Each structure stands twice: as C-alpha cells, then as structure tokens.
Amino acid sequence: MSENNRLPKFPDSYIGDKAKEYNNSKWMERNQKKTTLLCIQYLYDTKLDLLSTQDILEDKEYIILDLGCGTGFSSEVLAESGFRVIGVDMLKDMLYKAKIKAKDYSNYNNVHYILADINYLPLKENSIDHIISVSAYNFIVSEKRELGDKLKTLNNVATTIYKILKQAGRAVIEFYPKDEKELELFTSSFKKNNFNGFIVKSNLKQKSGQQFLLLKKK
C-alpha cells in the first residue's frame, strides 16, 4: 500500500529513487511493521490450531520466510520477535537496502537475504517452518494478462510453498487483490495445493483492498 492510497506498480514503484523514497518513508515503515505484527498474531491464530490435530507450536526458534521482503521492514520485526528470517526479493534496489540495515541489528546472524524471484524459490523441500508475505504477493501475477497464465503462476508458487514448508507449516499472506474474482484465484490456488485456511479482511464490507490469507498445510 502507498501513503496516498494508490496501489503501487511493480517494478516501477521499487526501483531507483522510488526504492530510496520507499525506504526513507516513516509512514511506510510504520505501516509495514504494524501489518507484520498482525501477521505474526495471525500465524498463531487459535482457529488455525483447530484445522488439524498434530501441530502444537513449540517454544523454539522458528525459521520464517519473508516473501517479497523489500527493504526489510517486515524482516526486522520478525527478527526482533525471535524468528530466524530468510528474506527474498527480486529487486536489488530494495534488497540491498535491507542487507545494509541488517548490519545494525543486534541479532544480525539470524537474518539472511536472498536475491530471488518468488516464482523460482531457491530453497530446499521441508526446510521452512513459516512464511509471511506483506504487500508483495499480488505482484506475482501483475505481468500476466491471460487468466490461464495467472492460474499457472499461482499454482506453481503454491506448489513450491507447500514443498518447502515443514509438516503443519503455516503461512500468512497479506495482499491486495483487485477484486473478489482475483481473491478467489489466489485462495483456490492454495486450496488445490493441500492448504487449509481462511481469509481475514481488514474491513468486512470491502470487496477489494487489504486481505490476509491464513494458511496451514493439511
């Protein structure tokens, strides 16, 4: 989301001076950090516990993947909350800023940034406990015009996410589908790939805008 409520464009809104502007915006930092805290809360939502029996979350250091980590506002909150973080972003202009900032974190060793496309995640199967994505997931289909191409992309990413997550792994995706139809495309890609879950809307009456998908491997 942008401060003037206009949806950002990928990649233009995150390159060169725009990336600098993004990183220097106090409003954006507050917004991303607040949303990330909400995502952590949703990760532990008791309604997700009820969806299967075999996953009592233990008190241990979880590995969490931050999809579309940008300049690292969300990753910083995750690291401060005790997660070991892997942040992935495909734009150098964004990711390198995250890398520089991480040097000042007290738990620097717990954060790793990878330059990669969400569509081609270079991660091992069964290696990640949880995933979050804040204001990035809708971009994975932004360049696809045909419905078939969108479906293929969403299905491929959902399949990969399923594979890299450990058993009973959870994911919270916060994103901005443009309408109900697009929301349905995203949710059905997860249902088809063996995820249980549900949607939380920040405003119940809205047809588009901010949505949280709370997901758990079946």
Ligand X SMILES: C[S@@+](CC[C@H](N)C(=O)[O-])C[C@H]1O[C@@H](n2cnc3c(N)ncnc32)[C@H](O)[C@@H]1O
- Residues of this chain that interact with ligand X (CB under 6 A) are 10, 14, 32, 68-71, 73-74, 88-91, 94, 117-119, 134-136, 139-140
Residue placing its CB nearer to ligand X in the complex, 2 or 127:
2
User: And the tokens for 46?
Assistant: 């008791």
Residue placing its CB nearer to ligand X in the complex, 47 or 92:
92
Shortest distance (Å) from residue 7 CB to ligand X: 10
Cis, bond preceding 122 (omega within 30 deg of 0): no
Residue placing its CB nearer to ligand X in the complex, 141 or 183:
141
Q: E-assigned strands of 54-139?
A: 63-67, 84-89, 111-115, 128-134
- Residue number of the CB closest to ligand X reads 70
Residue placing its CB nearer to ligand X in the complex, 51 or 72:
72
SS3 call for 82: coil
DSSP secondary structure letter of residue 57: P
Total count of residues recorded for the chain: 218
Alpha-carbon distance of 35 to 95, in angstroms, equals 19
Shortest distance (Å) from residue 51 CB to ligand X: 26
Which among 213, 208, 145 is positioned nearest to 174, based on CA atoms? 213
User: And the tokens for 204?
Assistant: 């119940």
Question: Is the Cα dihedral 80, 13, 22, 17 positive or negative?
Answer: positive
Q: What are phi and psi of 101, to 5 degrees?
A: -65, -35
Q: How many alpha carbons fall within 13 Å on the CB side of residue 108?
A: 8
Shortest distance (Å) from residue 148 CB to ligand X: 18
Alpha-carbon distance of 53 to 216, in angstroms, equals 12
Residue placing its CB nearer to ligand X in the complex, 51 or 154:
154
Residue placing its CB nearer to ligand X in the complex, 36 or 187:
36
Shortest distance (Å) from residue 86 CB to ligand X: 12
Shortest distance (Å) from residue 153 CB to ligand X: 9
Shortest distance (Å) from residue 192 CB to ligand X: 20
